[in-house]
Amino acid sequence: MSEAEWSGDLAAILYGVALLCALVLTVALVLAQIARGRRAMMTRNETLTYARLTAGGPAWGLCEVTGTAEPGPGGPLTAPLSGRPCVWYRAVARQKTASGVSFFHTDVSAAPIVLNDGTGRITVLPDREMRGALRSVDLRRVPPAEAGPLPRGASDAEWYRYEEWILPPGEHLYACGKAVYDGTSVVMDRPYPEDRSDLSAAERDLADDHPYVLSAWSEERTTRHETRRMVLSYAVAGAATVIGLGAFAWSRHEAEKVPYRRR
């Protein structure tokens, strides 16, 4: 291989590295923004009790509540994979096929959770994520192994992986979002709808700054967790920027060594 051919191949590889770094940078910045929004939401909102929320009559506002998780009106839930009693669950299943790794099953509980803070009971509407939830299932199956009651994916999959997280009754629950008191009960929900297709650009920006946070941890631990995620994401974004710019500059340098061929 001539020096010019080697430089051309190296330039192409370095350009690919630069593109990969650009992708990593984009993902890292998105994750950092999510963690930053969660952290800011928890930091700027006050912790209120049921007694304070109902003291002034019907009202609504952004706040955080903390207490003990109890089953909703329908009673305790049964986790779909482990069969354990809980007040919230999330179960997912992934598979590895020739086209890559993909999710083929997701099940998140939709039943309301009751939060008892000692002064009253607050209805907390569930979300897809619960920080600090207990991992109750983490299984890997290789077909044609018997999966039992577990969902099955593609018949030609190399493996299946099943994971489940639950919040058992009696565990600590922290929620930060929009509390609404209608004169009868207090309901905690996300400040903005999860489907943002009908929101204006300004409303979508507000929704990004006001996420819904549910956690089995304390407020302090949840805040530390989001701070670490934010710092780590920004660090990855910085490293991707430095490496990507270096790879791009190097690729340009190597490309200049390749003689131009007139067609």
Q: pLDDT tens-digit profile of 186-225?
A: 999 999 887 777 878 887 778 778 899 999 999 999 999 9
pLDDT tens digits for 157-175? 999 999 999 999 999 999 9
pLDDT tens digits for 103-112? 999 999 999 9
What does 20-89 look like in DSSP terms, one character per residue?
HHHHHHHHHHHHHHHHHHHHHHHHHS-B--HHHHTTTSSEEEEEEEEEEEE--TT--EE-TTT--EESEE
- What contacts 8, CB < 8 A, 6 or more positions away? 254, 255, 258
DSSP state of 148: T
Token look-up 């009673």 returns 75
Secondary structure element (H or E) that encloses residue 233, with its range: helix 219-255
- Taking the C-alpha atoms of residue 110 and residue 89, their distance in angstroms, rounded to an integer, is 9
Written in H, E and C, the secondary structure of 176-229 is EEEEEECCCCEEEECCCCCCCCCCCHHHHHHHHHCCCEEECCCHHHHHHHHHHH
pLDDT surpassing 60 at residue 261: no
- More confident: 46 or 151: 46
Token look-up 């600590």 returns 172
pLDDT surpassing 80 at residue 3: no
pLDDT surpassing 60 at residue 263: no
Per-residue pLDDT at 1: 57
**By CB neighbour count within 10 A (0-12 exposed, 13-18 middle, 19+ buried), where does 23 fall?**
exposed
Q: Is 250 helix (H, G, I), strand (E, B) or coil?
A: helix
